[in-house]
Amino acid sequence: MLIGYSKQTGGGLSRQKKMGRASNLSQDIFPYCLTILHTFDSGMPIRSIGISLSNTSIQEEEQMSLFEDIDQRERAYAFAKTIDDIRLRYGKNSVLRESSHLPHSTDRYRNSLTD
C-alpha cells in the first residue's frame, strides 16, 4: 500500500502486509488496507492511496477454512463476479459504492475518463 501526502506536506510512505490466504474479494483485502492506514496514520492530509497485490492465485485453487461458512464465501464470489460482469457490460459507473455519490467524490468523473 502506498500513501502519498498533500502537495504542501510532501512525501509519503509505502508499507506491505501479508494476508493469511489468497483472495480476490474486496471484503478480504479492505481490512488489511485499513490496518496499514490506521497503524501508520501521521495525521497529515492524504492526497493519494495506491494498493497493489502480488503472489495472487487463481480462485479455484483457494484453500477453504474449517472455521468459515463455505456457502457464504461462494455467494460472495458469485456476487463479486456479477458486479464485474455488470461493469464490463454497462461501464464502470453502472455499479458504485454509496460514497461515490457524495459531493466531494471523484469516482464517477475518473471512471468516465477511462471508459
* Confidence label for 3 from pLDDT (cuts 50, 70 and 90): confident
> What residue type is 45 in one-letter code?
P
Beta bridge mates, 5: 46
SS3 29: helix
Which residue range is the domain that position 105 belongs to? Answer: 67-115
Which pTM was predicted? 0.65
The per-residue pLDDT for range 35-49, each reduced to its tens digit, is: 988 888 888 888 888
Whether the Cβ atoms of residue 53 and residue 41 lie closer than 8 Å to each other: no
- Buried b / exposed e over 23-44, threshold 16 CB at 10 Å, is bbeeeeeeebeeebeeeeeeee
**Mean pLDDT value of segment 20-40:** 86
In a domain, 41, yes or no: yes
Q: Which three cell numbers stand for residue 22?
A: 489468497
Residue 58 lies in a domain: no
Inform me whether the pLDDT recorded for 87 exceeds 80.
yes
Domain identity same for 45 and 72? no
